[in-house]
Copies of this chain bind each other. A is one copy, B any other.
């Protein structure tokens, strides 16, 4: 594995290597589409913290946010998660 490949994969895994982000991702995956405002309560984190975590996951390509009016609706990118699993030895 090249240093560049490792750097890239490590960044993606790092996006998932946080308990709050794992549960956030799980919530988005379970409901297929959620707005940020619905994530604060179940995760017990402030609005800026939720915004931070959604950004990290989005930058990693694991979720995508669609802006509709005042709300941002999040949904998962299953191909991206599959790519991570594949890179881990699939």
Contact = CB atoms under 8 A, between A and B. Distances in A.
Contact of A89 (B3, B13, B85): B85
Per assembly, the copies of the chain total 2
Contacts of A7: 19
A9 interface: yes
Contacts of A41: none
Interface in A8-27: 9-11, 13-14, 16-23, 26
Contact of A10 (B9, B18, B84, B88): B18
Interface in A67-90: 78, 81-82, 84-85, 88-90
Interface of A: 1, 3, 6-7, 9-11, 13-14, 16-23, 26, 29, 78, 81-82, 84-85, 88-90
